[in-house]
Structure 1
């Protein structure tokens, strides 16, 4: 394996769920230039050295990039000379980009090799045969990201500076970049679907490139050794299918208490018996099912005590400074009594999901599109839906569907659409994203849009966002759920009628508390700020008790894990230092929820 040295930033393998032995990190120093007018192609930036430097994978707005420019950038250029290892001869070289915001074009020696649209999803560009990349080719990347464009951007502001619950912008590359050699005929990422009832994994095994009498061999193993094997022909043009049945005495389910993962080796074998391609991955045997108002994991009711995780860092913005920082966020959440998170308004990097898989942490996968509405809205931070939302979201689902930690999908968040208005593009996109998700992954519940406007009759889950700070009023607002009339944002003005789906309050709390805030400081939170730390605990318990007491509530999501810039309603400070006594918060959440008690009593 071409393992980079630890002095390369974010040097760890970027894709733990699909591992080949050979790879080369491109993180580190690149040539860089800001192109504010987006005229660089006409001015010859493709042909000449760039005027500055940047540290990839950190966005130029971040401190860790070495640039730290927070004004509108509109377009940025990257340039690096490639040094392709000699032993990659005979292979095709793939360029993998974890994420780059927003419209990215890739050239090698001035020849365009690929393009991708979208700021949150990973993409791959085939740079061609390694033999043609032997003489120090120049890799150039341009990212266009108009600061005021109405595109999917999550919590990135369109104003000069962040305010309230929106933050600064991220432009260009913000996740790891790396090269990987593959043979002309090679395995593409498999779909691995667990089947708890049958004690099996169903495999879809796509192959790229020409094949003739090739076979795919799969070997499942655990700590005791081989568990099951299968072999399937790969010569047909369709995607080969196969199943690995786990013997009863080796079946071990993935759960938050026992996040067991099986190793899975996949090999593409030529007719002469030689191994053409080999990949290591892993799988968790876990089911998510809906049973009335309950969401069951492996057949058991598990109350989802979720926290809203924005995934921002003071020095890296949307990029974690280290792999250890990803692990720490999960551990900080669990220390406060949460068993999972809504990964809010960005597509998190794959290593976060890998750590969630191995640490037993429940997550809802989400896209970055906060506050979508039709043209003409007054909010400066509106985001406008179009067909690209569906394309980008499907890229995220396809990349992440194998992770057992993901227990639900949330394509949209807080959409604005009046119920009795004409059918609009937003309605089309909402339904399109819902149907596309169900088609791509029928094994998990899908919520059409978290909070605000529920526009799809058959959505699997209903929810609301309620930032009422008075526990008594919060209880009164949530109480009608007992009569099958759940709290809905804007009442019945926005959403179609509730059909008895599982329901949870997927955003609440947001208790505003910054003991160090000076008068006039840029500090924001929901409602009235508390006057003391003790009042935080009293309000937290009052709000949490409302939801734990409700036997029709399958979970909740508290806002939020950390302060983020001016939004100061986190359990931890923005730098992840102590803000509250998390032992007290964990104790408040530790009693069983009413739905769990009813399950144990058979009610």
Structure 2
């Protein structure tokens, strides 16, 4: 009897595992704020394009089935979506049924979207329950008053996208029909995980973690959905299985809890130590009404005397440009393992970090960067927007704020970099830069701020672009006397360089890259080593970002192919970049 029971249990577990594996991107999408009660809504939805914007007239918010099927969370332009439609998509509708678990009674029910490009409207049984602007940031919709446990509803999502409008961020999405130069296939609609969670009405809404390595303590700043009499928050810090610290307090929005961290272990790329955190919200009787799992890395970044410091020690940033494109998923990694693999490929080529270029990366990427030890600059996909347009500025600030709030607890992120190169600098754009800097420092004063790569108004780092492959001219541009603008001894950083093109296929038609096309492999190593030698000889340069990790469509200046296969001798590349050590001697 016991044997039969075990067989039945085994079959059941196997079925559950198979069912989970059938869901694309099944992992928990918010790794720094994890609850156990959630439902992944990825998978097969129905969809319909709406090029003439007649969906509302045709009553599509009420539709229980649309014309085609699509695999969420992959955008319709991608192969993994099953649609693979790469022309402009002005509007797309999505539909699926939504069943609320029966044990979610007396809970706040949140419908979460990781990202929808660009504007979204959400309907439940034909009733609009929420909307959002911003193609790269998450948004929750509280459906508690409408959705009842045990009931099934019709979920419809409309997504609007107009990358040519100039008022929305696009990143490297092509504004022409086809890809060209360093602009690639567009992304429309849902492109990150959709999921539901059940939360206590008095649960924890957010928690800001502020490590202070100088005073060996961690400050937690919580916010709650509601607060009842006698409600308390218990925060416990773990090093593996060992309890390091614990604090309890009456619940108060913005009321800090300070945890001493004895025997503190620092986070760095060389030793990415993470502490686990468990938040428990308890009612007046001491019963746990909400539990959230998280983690933190104890580390500090700052600048002084023209030098960048990590954990109070000079540190050289060897970054690789990563644009986060995938041949089958476009902006969405096909698997969680693919996100991890991009970091492993970067480290294998000698880099200790990456500039996450023109894209808000999935939060799971930051999780792997935290876990594997990989510093990053986090950017906005600001290309495509007109920074001299007031509506575009309004849209940008809203989306940028949401990105900061999502990612500010990740130790791997060391710099916020909102803008890339713009040629048309006007008073309107300069105002936007100042506003962005002010908002960024208000939300997160602990990190560095790089305003515009190649042009500076209010910045902690002086980043430049130098794609010159002639080593004499390249080195000349690294001298302080050649720096343009009001340079005030910020750390000098080469925000973009290299871009050397090595195309092994016989047909080079359409190939594009920032550097020249090399036909001899050894010439690439020779050129690269001369450039790195010039950087090493410079008195001011504190880091660089090499272009780039992989080829992307027609752009062929990657170290790896678009499919993540090595194009060059990776060990040789690694030896060249690592000629400059991460740990530096303090400047006198």
Q: Under TM normalisation by the shorter chain, which class is it?
A: over 0.9
Give the corresponding residue for 1:446. Answer: 449
1:60 aligned counterpart, secondary structure: coil
* 1:48-90 alpha-carbon deviations (Å, 9 max, x no partner): 2211110000000000000000111100011110122111122
Matched, 1:91 2:107: yes
- C-alpha distance in 2, partners of 1:391/1:110? 27
Give the corresponding residue for 1:160. Answer: 177
* Residue 111 to residue 512, structure 1, CA distance change in 2 (3 Å): same
Give the corresponding residue for 1:549. Answer: 537
Matched, 1:21 2:10: no
* Residue 143 to residue 372, structure 1, CA distance change in 2 (3 Å): closer
Give the corresponding residue for 2:572. Answer: 584
Give the corresponding residue for 1:427. Answer: 430
Structure 1 position 429, deviation (Å): 1.2
Matched, 1:54 2:70: yes
- C-alpha distance in 1, partners of 2:97/2:149? 10
Matched, 1:246 2:234: no
Matched, 1:501 2:490: yes
Matched, 1:370 2:377: no
Task: After TM superposition, list the pairs within 5 Å mapping 1:77-156 onto structure 2.
Answer: 77-129=93-145, 132=148, 134-150=150-166, 151-156=168-173
Structure 1 position 21, deviation (Å): 0.9
Structure 1 position 272, deviation (Å): 0.7
2:337 aligned counterpart, secondary structure: helix
Consecutive unaligned residues of structure 2, counting only runs of 5 or more, are 1-12
1:29 aligned counterpart, secondary structure: strand
Structure 1 position 524, deviation (Å): 0.4
Number of aligned residue pairs: give it. Answer: 571
Structure 1 position 160, deviation (Å): 0.2
2:332 aligned counterpart, secondary structure: coil
After TM superposition, the score normalised by the length of structure 1 is: 0.92
- C-alpha distance in 2, partners of 1:183/1:534? 62
Structure 1 position 373, deviation (Å): 4.9
* 1:134-176 alpha-carbon deviations (Å, 9 max, x no partner): 3210111110002422121110111101110111110000011
* 1:193-251 alpha-carbon deviations (Å, 9 max, x no partner): 100001111110100124222111100011251100001111x5x4221111112xx31
- C-alpha distance in 2, partners of 1:149/1:445? 31
* 1:546-596 alpha-carbon deviations (Å, 9 max, x no partner): 212213111000000000000100000000012011100110122235x95
- C-alpha distance in 1, partners of 2:434/2:105? 47
Assess if the C-alpha contact under 8 Å between 1:89 and 1:131 holds in 2: no
Assess if the C-alpha contact under 8 Å between 1:308 and 1:344 holds in 2: yes
- C-alpha distance in 2, partners of 1:597/1:89? 57
Consecutive unaligned residues of structure 1, counting only runs of 5 or more, are 377-382, 489-495
After TM superposition, the score normalised by the length of structure 2 is: 0.94
Matched, 1:67 2:83: yes
Give the corresponding residue for 1:275. Answer: 288
- C-alpha distance in 1, partners of 2:225/2:258? 21
Give the corresponding residue for 1:38. Answer: 53
* 1:469-494 alpha-carbon deviations (Å, 9 max, x no partner): 2122211222x22x4x42x4xxxxxx
Matched, 1:232 2:249: yes
Matched, 1:437 2:426: no
* Residue 533 to residue 187, structure 1, CA distance change in 2 (3 Å): same
CA RMSD in angstroms, aligned pairs only: 1.9
2:400 aligned counterpart, secondary structure: helix
* Residue 477 to residue 517, structure 1, CA distance change in 2 (3 Å): farther
Task: After TM superposition, list the pairs within 5 Å mapping 1:584-603 onto structure 2.
Answer: 584-592=572-580, 597-599=584-586, 603=588
* 1:432-479 alpha-carbon deviations (Å, 9 max, x no partner): 11111011100011011122x2122xx21111111112122211222x
Structure 1 position 509, deviation (Å): 0.5
Matched, 1:402 2:409: yes
Matched, 1:531 2:548: no
Q: Which moved more, 1:521-530 or 1:324-333?
A: 521-530
- C-alpha distance in 2, partners of 1:539/1:17? 42
- C-alpha distance in 2, partners of 1:70/1:171? 10
Give the corresponding residue for 1:326. Answer: 339
Assess if the C-alpha contact under 8 Å between 1:341 and 1:557 holds in 2: yes
